[in-house]
Chains A and B, each alone.
Chain A
Amino acid sequence: MDIQFFITILIGFGILVIILFGIDIYQLTKKSKEEKGVMSLKFSETFLIELEKIINQEVKKTISNTSEKINDKIAQSFEKQATSLFEKAEEKLFSHSEEIKNQSLKFNNACSSAEQLVIKQAEKVTEQLAQSLDQKIDQVYQAATKSISQKIDQTEKNIDNYKKEKLNEIDQKIFQMIEDVAKKTIGKSIDLSLHEELVIQALEKAKKENFL
């Protein structure tokens, strides 16, 4: 674009030179044909030198202006591009930053989920272990209790049997002693008929004493 601008200026300047050269030829044609040829040649040489100077100056000026403009344009373009790049870079940075934030959040969430999962898993495993342990303890306890209970039952039965046996022995001895005492009291041993007779006597006595 800057080169096109430069070429346009050069073309414009060329056209100006041609116009001035045309004017000069026109003035020379108005004078005499003799003078015209010498003067025209002189004028042309001076003019050409001046024109060259002017052209050089204009070219230099134009080059300088163009260079300045180009530099400005380049500077502006650079600035624009730099701004654009900066903005894009900022956008990219922001975008990456957001992405990083999101990823970080996701990572944190994932970590948190993983942590929760691990905790849950650990809790589950702990619970299972505790249950298993409880069951084992219970089994051992039950087995021990059953065994102890059976031994206690057996021991209690043995004690009861022994007690009954001894009490029977004592009862027998007591009854024997009582029989002996009874024999001494009523003067004879007690058979079934005497037992029955004694019951009838008891009833008669109860009636006699107005109990019945």
Chain B
Amino acid sequence: MTQTKEQPFLDQLTKDVSTKEDLVFFLEEISLIEKLIFKKINLNLSEKVKPIVSENFFKKIQELEEKNLINKNPETIQNFFNNLKKSLLAIDQIKIIISFKPKQTFINKIKSWLEKELRQNLIIDFVHNPEIVAGAIIEFQGKQFDCSLIQKIKQLNLN
């Protein structure tokens, strides 16, 4: 499979999506942009979407325009965002059930750990469930690994 000119930038954009929440937010922003693609075609996309997307996403679109990955042509823009959506939806997800609400620093830490240890870009689906007390339950590719404290307590009780 030959790598297109836009592929490195698609990879970069997808790497910015760490969690499932990020993915949902990102897809919503793409959906908003798609509604404007065929309107006011004489304007740059960044000018059209500035009032409706986040600052971060606006900067990314500007960068895309600077690198000439997208232009004013609506078909080019539509193709780029279709490819971006496909790339995002193709990323594997890992579900991590934890007993606390994770902060961004912790999310980054986990993301880094996964990239370093597994050499894989994964989207983390954090689920907050206080009932597990501590530790984590990990679900990946249809399997579950329970390393929660409640599980250990149950095992102790059984023994």
Q: A residues touching B (Cβ–Cβ < 8 Å)?
A: 175, 178-179, 181-182, 185-186, 190, 192, 194-196, 198-207, 209, 211-212
Is B149 an interface residue when CB atoms closer than 8 A count as contact? yes
What residues on A are CB-neighbors of B113 within 8 Å? 200, 203
Identify B118's interface contact among A190, A198, A212, CB under 8 A. Answer: A212
Identify A195's interface contact among B94, B98, B114, B147, CB under 8 A. Answer: B98
Cβ-closest chain B residue relative to A193: B106
- How many whole Å from A167's CB to the nearest CB in chain B? 12
Please tell me if the beta carbons of A212 and B140 are within 8 angstroms of each other in the complex: yes
Please tell me if the beta carbons of B147 and A202 are within 8 angstroms of each other in the complex: yes
Interface centre among B106, B117, B130, B134 (most CB of A within 10 A): B134
Q: B residues touching A (Cβ–Cβ < 8 Å)?
A: 94, 96, 98-100, 106, 109-110, 113-114, 117-118, 130, 133-136, 138, 140, 143, 145, 147-150, 152-153, 156
- How many whole Å from A175's CB to the nearest CB in chain B? 7
Cβ-closest chain B residue relative to A171: B130
Q: A175-B130, A203-B136 are in contact. Are A182 and B145 (CB under 8 A)?
A: no
What residues on A are CB-neighbors of B106 within 8 Å? 196, 199
Q: A202-B136, A211-B138 are in contact. Are A196 and B109 (CB under 8 A)?
A: yes
Q: A182-B133, A203-B113, A206-B145 are in contact. Are A195 and B100 (CB under 8 A)?
A: yes
Please tell me if the beta carbons of B138 and A206 are within 8 angstroms of each other in the complex: yes
Please tell me if the beta carbons of B140 and A211 are within 8 angstroms of each other in the complex: yes
Please tell me if the beta carbons of B133 and A178 are within 8 angstroms of each other in the complex: yes
Docked complex Cα distance between A203 and B130 (Å): 18
- How many whole Å from B36's CB to the nearest CB in chain A? 40
Please tell me if the beta carbons of A185 and B118 are within 8 angstroms of each other in the complex: no
Q: A207-B118, A211-B140 are in contact. Are A199 and B145 (CB under 8 A)?
A: no
What residues on B are CB-neighbors of A175 within 8 Å? 130, 133
Identify A181's interface contact among B99, B100, B153, CB under 8 A. Answer: B153
Cβ-closest chain B residue relative to A190: B134
Cβ-closest chain A residue relative to B143: A211
Q: A205-B147, A209-B145, A212-B118 are in contact. Are A199 and B153 (CB under 8 A)?
A: no
Please tell me if the beta carbons of B149 and A212 are within 8 angstroms of each other in the complex: no
Docked complex Cα distance between A196 and B115 (Å): 18
What residues on B are CB-neighbors of A195 within 8 Å? 98-100, 134
Docked complex Cα distance between A194 and B133 (Å): 12
Q: 10 A-B Cβ contacts within 8 A?
A: A175-B133, A185-B152, A186-B149, A192-B100, A202-B136, A203-B113, A203-B114, A206-B147, A209-B145, A211-B140
- How many whole Å from A9's CB to the nearest CB in chain B? 136
Cβ-closest chain A residue relative to B120: A212
Please tell me if the beta carbons of A199 and B96 are within 8 angstroms of each other in the complex: yes
